[in-house]
Homo-oligomer: A and B are copies of this chain.
Amino acid sequence: MSKSRKVKKPNQRKPLVELTEAEWEIMKVVWEKQPCSAGTVQEKLVKSRDRAYSTVKTTMDRMAEKGFLTIKRIRNLQLFQACISEIDARRGEFRKMLKRAFDGTLTPLMQFLIEHEGLSKEEASQLRKLVTRAKNSKD
């Protein structure tokens, strides 16, 4: 038996998830509170940025059409649940950014962070730790 070396993952072909600004705000609440109603989400959001119930509900319905949420009906009530994970959403957001602005590869991004985003000594150290850990935990 060969080593348990991972077989190269066959590039996931699932299209990347792309959320709009409003969708991100809603998804964050849903991930936290699901299953939950539109009202619950609206009440939570109203504290940060004021939006009418129907605004939130409309957006959530559209998200369900897009396959980001599912609706479970209980009598008169609709309970929403996420169909995508936070990881998927983060991946989509990150890759879109990387592709648009950094040629799709990490190196230019890292270069940019260090040269222009003022990575502090502490951040750098933290990063280094993370990277080291990564080194020891895979391939």
B100 near A93: Cβ-Cβ < 8 Å: yes
Residue of B nearest to A108 (CB): B90
B-side contacts of A51, CB under 8 Å: none
- Are the CB atoms of A121 and B135 closer together than 8 Å? yes
Contact A114 B130 (CB under 8 A): yes
Verify B21–A100 contact, CB threshold 8 A: yes
Structural contact, A128 and B126, CB atoms closer than 8 A: no
Instruction: Check A116–B91 contact: CB distance below 8 A.
Output: yes
Interface size of A by CB at 8 A reads: 43
Task: Give the oligomeric copy count.
Answer: 2
For A21, the closest partner residue in chain B by CB is: B100
Please judge, given known A-B contacts A89-B101, A123-B106, whether A117 and B94 are in contact too, CB under 8 Å.
yes
A139 near B126 with CB under 8 A, answer: no
Whether B135 pairs with A125 at a CB distance below 8 angstroms is yes
A4, CB-defined interface residue at 8 Å: no
A residues in contact (CB < 8 Å) with B: 9, 19, 21, 24, 87, 89-91, 93-94, 96-97, 100-102, 106-107, 109-114, 116-121, 123-128, 130-135, 138-139
